[in-house]
C-alpha cells in the first residue's frame, strides 16, 4: 500500500464515492494511506469500490446513505462514530448533474422554463443542502480535535451560468458562497474549508456521449487527485478559503508556484465589494 506523509492515519469521508471523481478520490486517498469512509446511494458500485480498496489492503467503510435527508446523515454519523471514531477530512463531492435535465444539454441547451421543479428541488437538496448537512454534522469533531478539512467540489464560474446547465450551475454557485462563509467561521480553529474544481468538463457520466464531446478531450477524474491529497495533508494547514483549479495544478513545481498557478480566493472576493454595508468603510 503506497503511503504519503500527512495522510497515514487520517480518516477521510467522501460523498458520491461510487463513480467518477468520487471513485478516483476514494481509491487515491486509500492508496495514500488514509482510512476512507465512502458514501453514496448507488449500492452496488459503492460495494465494488470498497472491495477494490480492501483487496489493496486499505481501511474502508462503505455506507449507503442519502445525504439530502437529515435523518440519514444522523444515522451516517452514528455509524462513523462506531466504526471510525470520527472524521478528519470531509470531501463534499456528491451531486446531481446537468445530464439529468437532458443528456444533450451542451447541444440543445434546454431553457430554464423547461427544467422540472422536481429536478430543481432534488439538486438543491443534494448539491447544496447535502453539503451543509454533512459539514455541520462532522465539523463538530474536527473542532474538538483542533484539526480538520472540509473540501467542497464546485465548478468554474463560467459553468455556473452556462446556458443549458439548468439548476446545476446555480447550486454550485451557492456551494461556492457557502464555502466562503465556512472558511470565515473556521478561521483560527485549525479546521479549514476550501474548494476544488476540475477547470473544465470531466470524463464522467455528467458529460454523456450525447453531449458531443470526445472523452479523450475531457479532464480525467484522476487529474483532481493530486491537489486533493495536498489539501488533505498537514502541509495545507494555512490554506483556508481558497479555490484550486485541478487542470492548472502542476505537481512538478514547488508548492508556492503550484498555488500561484492554480489557486485563488474562494467566491471571487477579488472582484471587490459590490455593496456598502452600514458602518463599513
Residue among 168, 173, 197, 246 flagged as catalytic = 168
Cβ pair 141, 87 in contact under 8 A:
yes
Beta carbons of 177 and 128 less than 8 angstroms apart: no
Judge whether 105 counts as a catalytic residue: no
State the CB neighbour count (10 A cutoff) for residue 171: 25
SS3 breakdown of the chain: % helix, strand, coil, rounded to 5?
Answer: 50, 15, 35
Rounded to whole angstroms, how far apart are CA atoms 153 and 195?
Answer: 6
User: Angle formed by the axes of helices 70-84 and 130-145, to 10°?
Assistant: 30
In degrees to the nearest 10, what's the CA dihedral of 26, 156, 177, 94?
-30
CA distance 184 to 181: 5
Catalytic residue numbers?
168
Amino acid at each position: 500500500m503506497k503511503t504519503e506523509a500527512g495522510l497515514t492515519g487520517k480518516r477521510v469521508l467522501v460523498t458520491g464515492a461510487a463513480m467518477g471523481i468520487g471513485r478516483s478520490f476514494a481509491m487515491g486517498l486509500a492508496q495514500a494511506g488514509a482510512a476512507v469512509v465512502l458514501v453514496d446511494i448507488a449500492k452496488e458500485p459503492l460495494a465494488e469500490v470498497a472491495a477494490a480498496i480492501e483487496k489493496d489492503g486499505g481501511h474502508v467503510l462503505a455506507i449507503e446513505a442519502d445525504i439530502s435527508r437529515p435523518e440519514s446523515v444522523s444515522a451516517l454519523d452514528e455509524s462513523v462514530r462506531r466504526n471510525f471514531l470520527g472524521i478528519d477530512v470531509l470531501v463534499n463531492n456528491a451531486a446531481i448533474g446537468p445530464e439529468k435535465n437532458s443528456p444533450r444539454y451542451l447541444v440543445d441547451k434546454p431553457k430554464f422554463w423547461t427544467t422540472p421543479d422536481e429536478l430543481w428541488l432534488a439538486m438543491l437538496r443534494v448539491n447544496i443542502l447535502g453539503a451543509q448537512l454533512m459539514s455541520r454534522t462532522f465539523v463538530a469533531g474536527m473542532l474538538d480535535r483542533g484539526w480538520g478539512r472540509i473540501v467542497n467540489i464546485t465548478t468554474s464560474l463560467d459553468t455556473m451560468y452556462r446556458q443549458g446547465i439548468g439548476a446545476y450551475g446555480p447550486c454550485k454557485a451557492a456551494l461556492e458562497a457557502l464555502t466562503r462563509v465556512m472558511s470565515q467561521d473556521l478561521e483560527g480553529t485549525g479546521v479549514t474549508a476550501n474548494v476544488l474544481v476540475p477547470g473544465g468538463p470531466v470524463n464522467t457520466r455528467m458529460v454523456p456521449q450525447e453531449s458531443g464531446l470526445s472523452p479523450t478531450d475531457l479532464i480525467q477524474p484522476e487529474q483532481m487527485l493530486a491537489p486533493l491529497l495536498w489539501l488533505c495533508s498537514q502541509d495545507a494547514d494555512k490554506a483556508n478559503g481558497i479555490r484550486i483549479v485541478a487542470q492548472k495544478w502542476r505537481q512538478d513545481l514547488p508548492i508556492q508556484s503550484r498555488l500561484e498557478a492554480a489557486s485563488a480566493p474562494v467566491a471571487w472576493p477579488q472582484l471587490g465589494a459590490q455593496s456598502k454595508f452600514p458602518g463599513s468603510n
